[in-house]
Amino acid sequence: MIHKSILICLFTFFGREMLSQASAQETQPFYVNIFINAEETYYVKTERTKIENIEQKVSEIVRNKPFRIDQQIVYRIFADKNLPMAKLIDLDQKLSNAYSDNIRRERYLLNTVEMNIDGRNWFKSIDMNSLDQL
C-alpha cells in the first residue's frame, strides 16, 4: 500500500513537471527575421534572397523547423525607412503565401545607411531594445 502511494505521488509530480514544460514551450513564438536594406536587397535570416524566392525560403524554414502546431510564427520585418510602402506590402503578401496559420507581423523601420547595417550579420547589428515597432 505504501509503495502504491509513493508511486502515485511520483507519477503526479513528474506528470505535472512534464505538463508545465510543455506549456512553457507553447508560449515561445518562432521568429523569422527578414531584412530589406536601402538598395532593396532582401535577407531571410542571414541568407541573401531575391524577392521572387522569399515565399519558398520562408516556407522551407517554417516547415523544416520542429515546432508545435499551436506555436505562433512571428515575421519580424526590418526595413529601411526610405523604402516605398509598396515593397513592404509585397513582402507581406509573399509571407502570407509562404505560411499563414497563426502568424503575427512585427515591422521595424530603420535608417540602415546611418546605422551601417548590411550583409549576412545584419541582425547582430540591431539593438532590439532600442527599436520602435511600426
In a domain, 52, yes or no: yes
Q: How many CB atoms lie within 10 A of CB 53?
A: 15
In a domain, 18, yes or no: no
In a domain, 16, yes or no: no
pLDDT score of 130: 72
In a domain, 71, yes or no: yes
In a domain, 63, yes or no: yes
Residue 125: pLDDT over 80: no
- For residue range 75-121, list pLDDT tens digits in order: 999 999 999 999 999 999 999 999 988 999 999 998 888 887 767 77
SS3 of residue 52 by DSSP? helix
In a domain, 78, yes or no: yes
pTM confidence score: 0.73
The number of folded domains in the chain is 1
Confidence band for 13, pLDDT divided at 50, 70 and 90: low
Structural domain for 95, as ranges: 29-127
Return the percentage of the chain with pLDDT > 90, whole number. 48
